[in-house]
Structure 1
Amino acid sequence: MIPVPSGVRVWLAAGHTDMRRGMNGLALQVQQALERDPHAGDLYVFRGRRGDLVKVLWHDGLGMSLYAKRLERGHFIWPTPADGTVAISASQLAYMLEGIDWRHPQRTWRPEMAG
C-alpha cells in the first residue's frame, strides 16, 4: 500500500490513459490536460482502457514515484470522461486499490450470531 500522508488530495483522471506512458509522460498529462502541478504533493491516478490497471503518480517533496496495480479479476470502478477530474479521499483510494466500489463501499459479510 502507498504510504499516503494525511491531508494529501487524490485526483482521478476520468476516462482512460495510455498505460505505456511512464513517469514523465503522466506528469506532462497532469500539467497539460488536468492543468495541475504534478510536483505539488497530490496523488494522480490513471486507468487504462481495459480497466484492470491503474497507475498512481506522486511527488513526495524529494522525488517523483510511480506505482502500478493490476487486478487479476474484475476492473477498477472509474468515473466517466464527462465527470472530468474527480477528487477522492485517501480511504476511497484504499477501497479502489482493493477492487471495492469506492463510491458505495458495502460490507460483504456480517456474522449473524455470536458464538
Structure 2
Amino acid sequence: MIGPPSGVRVWLACGRTDMRKGMDGLAMLAQQVLNEDPFGGALFAFRGRRGGLVKLLWYDGQGVCLFSKRLERGHFVWPVTDTGRVSLTPAQLSMLLEGIDWRMPRRVQRPELAG
C-alpha cells in the first residue's frame, strides 16, 4: 500500500458506512458528520456493515484520493464509541489495514543486558 505522509491526521468514522458512497459522498460525511474539513489533508477511514471492506479518503493537495481494501477473510478491527470518530496514528492505521488489532499491540521487550 502507498503509505500516508508522516504526521498526517487519521480519523476513523465509527459505526457503519454505506460502502456505495464514492468520493463526494464520503467527503460530505467527513464534513457534516465528523465535523472535519475533507480538504484539510487529514485521512478519513470508513468501514462497511460486514466489516470486511474499508475505504480511505484523503486530499493530497491536488485532488481527492479514494483507496479501498477488502479482506478475503475476517474483518477490520473497528472501535465502538459514542463520539462518532476516533483519531489514530499512521502506525495504528497501518496495523488496522494489515488486519492486526491496533488497539492493544504487543510491544517487544527491551533487552536487559547487551550480548
Q: Would you call these one fold, judging by a TM-score over 0.5?
A: yes
For 2:75 and 2:14, how far apart are their aligned partners in 1?
15
Q: Which runs of 5+ in 2 are unaligned?
A: 108-115
RMSD in angstroms over aligned alpha carbons?
1.1
1:13 is displaced (CA, Å) by: 0.3
1:58 aligns with 2:35: no
For 1:47 and 1:73, how far apart are their aligned partners in 2?
15
Q: How many residues align?
A: 107
For 1:2 and 1:104, how far apart are their aligned partners in 2?
24
User: Matches of residues 21-60 of structure 1 in structure 2 within 5 Å?
Assistant: 21-60=21-60
Q: Which runs of 5+ in 1 are unaligned?
A: 108-115
Name the counterpart of 1:111. none
1:81 is displaced (CA, Å) by: 4.2
Name the counterpart of 1:113. none
TM-score for both structures, normalised by structure 1: 0.89
Q: Which moved more, 1:95-104 or 1:81-90?
A: 81-90
For 2:81 and 2:29, how far apart are their aligned partners in 1?
15
User: Matches of residues 1-115 of structure 1 in structure 2 within 5 Å?
Assistant: 1-106=1-106
For 2:32 and 2:50, how far apart are their aligned partners in 1?
24
State the percentage of identical aligned residues: 62
Moved over 2 A (4+): none
For 2:15 and 2:67, how far apart are their aligned partners in 1?
19
For 1:32 and 1:100, how far apart are their aligned partners in 2?
30
Q: Deviations over 1:45-89 (max 9, x none)?
A: 000000000000000001000000001111001011424210000
Corresponding letter in the other structure for 2:39: H
DSSP-derived class of the 1:87 partner? strand
Q: Which moved more, 1:74-83 or 1:56-65?
A: 74-83
